[in-house]
Amino acid sequence: MKTDMKTVGVIGAGSWGTALATVIADKGNKVRIFDVDEKHLKSMEKYRENIDYLPGVQLSDNIKIVYSSEEACTGADVVLFSAPAQHFRSALMSALEYLPEDALFINVAKGIERGTHKRMSEIAEEVFKEMGTPEKMDKYVVLSGPSHAEEVGRRQPTTVATASRNPESAKAIQDLFMTDRFRVYTSDDVIGVELGGALKNIIALGAGISDGMGFGDNAKAALMTRGLAEITRLGVKLGAKPETFAGLTGTGDLIVTCTSMHSRNRRCGIMIGEGMSPEEAVEKVGMVVEGMYTAEAAYELAKIAEVEMPITDAIYNVTKGNKKVSEALAELMSRQRRPEHD
């Protein structure tokens, strides 16, 4: 990937896709952004602002609203997928025939696909194998880290990481995004980066539930610390590097998601802790709450991998209505005594 200005297609005009489009466009790159919600796109085009999901951030003149995957992808140097995790497969399939042969593609969704238990890179690899082009995975890059769209869109300092099995692809995307307000590191641990970004949403639901029940800092600190321990256990079992979970896409993302009101997962958890049903809480948030889906996928994946994840189990059972919050809490606090480090 050359260092001159690029044409970037963005699939998904939610808050995060729009914020990242802003970072890229601020550097002089040409961005074409598409979403399946045509009404939403027309609003963005009319007001030059994502009023629905990122209000207050004016769209750069370098950002063009387009109305098809074909228009977003054709001739692009980079294609960025910002669809919710449960829709990444369909978004990729819809864009496949328009992806230029040499284009890099980025996925920024944080989740695990329900039913298949696949990470986003595993979905991409499966799709490309079916198309007879497995080599395209050398162009796949994941971008993750502690990064609320609301802050990125307002050019507040943010640091993230990119990961790819091809170091040159990770570096190219690092160059695409790097600014004096958006710092990017690289990694070769795609598994760890993807799992850290996905699983922290479950713990953020738990942190919100704790807040909603009126518990204090002690409870949240314990939840985050032990949550990170079980995230790391599963990640290492699945082939991730343990040190990844001590970095931006592990500890960093966990901190920001468990402590901020920008976090949809935490806000959803707060309402559940206050007594609202999980379904009502999701509706009240008004946007995709990835942790609700990931809790189910991670619960099942942990059983398959034979990894103990008691906090994930508890949050899964609460969000599914299988247990009351008070019951899940009592079970967690009364588990068999053990050393902190096995």
What is the reported pLDDT for 288? Answer: 86
pLDDT at 4: 80
Structure tokens at 331: 């079970």
In this structure, the answer to whether residues 18 and 138 fall within a common structural domain is yes
In-domain check, residue 175: yes
Same domain for 110 and 228: no
Tell whether the torsion through CA atoms of 98, 103, 107 and 113 is positive or negative: positive
Q: Is residue 182 domain-resident?
A: yes
CATH code at position 73: 3.40.50.720
200 is catalytic: yes
Within 10 angstroms of residue 284's Cβ, the number of other Cβ atoms is 11
pLDDT of residue 325: 94
- Establish if 184 belongs to a structural domain: yes
Same domain, 115 and 204: no
Distance CA(188)–CA(115), nearest Å, equals 27
Q: What is the CATH number of the domain that holds 242?
A: 1.10.1040.10
Same domain, 115 and 238: no
| pTM check: above 0.85 | yes
Per-residue pLDDT of 18-49, as tens digits, reads: 999 999 999 999 999 999 999 999 999 999 99
Per-residue pLDDT of the chain (342 residues; tens, 9 = 90+): 445 899 999 999 999 999 999 999 999 999 999 999 999 999 999 999 999 999 999 999 999 999 999 999 999 999 999 999 999 999 999 999 999 999 999 999 999 999 999 999 999 999 999 999 999 999 999 999 999 999 999 999 999 999 999 999 999 999 999 999 999 999 999 999 999 999 999 999 999 999 999 999 999 999 999 999 999 999 999 999 999 999 999 999 999 999 999 999 999 999 999 999 999 999 999 888 999 999 999 999 999 999 999 999 999 999 999 999 999 999 999 999 999 987
Q: 201 and 182, same structural domain?
A: no
User: Do 208 and 175 belong together in one domain?
Assistant: no
Q: Count how many domains the chain has.
A: 2
80 contacts 13 by C-beta, under 8 angstroms = no
Residues 99 and 218 in one domain: no
Contacts 24+ apart (CB under 8 A), 311-316: 311/202, 311/203, 311/206, 311/223, 311/226, 311/227, 311/230, 312/199, 312/202, 312/230, 314/206, 315/202, 315/203, 315/205, 315/206, 315/209, 315/291, 316/202
- d(CA 99, CA 173) in angstroms, rounded, equals 17
| Domain annotation covers residue 341 | no
Which residues have C-beta within 8 Å of that of residue 37, sequence separation ≥ 6? 13
Which of these three, 188, 223, 238, is where a domain ends?
188
Q: Are the C-beta atoms of 260 and 236 separated by less than 8 Å?
A: no
In a domain, 245, yes or no: yes
**Same domain flag for 154 and 197:** no
Task: Assess if residue 212 is contained within a domain.
Answer: yes
Residue 338 lies in a domain: no
180 and 197 in a single domain? The answer is no
Residue that terminates a domain, selected from 160, 188, 216: 188
Residue 135 covered by a domain? yes
Q: Which of 200, 237, 284, 303 is catalytic?
A: 200
Q: Which of 137, 164, 188 is the last residue of a domain?
A: 188
Based on the fold, state whether residues 74 and 146 are members of the same structural domain. Answer: yes
150, 31: one domain: yes
Domain match, 75 and 177 both: yes
**What's the domain range around 231?**
191-333
CB 144 within 8 A of CB 194: yes
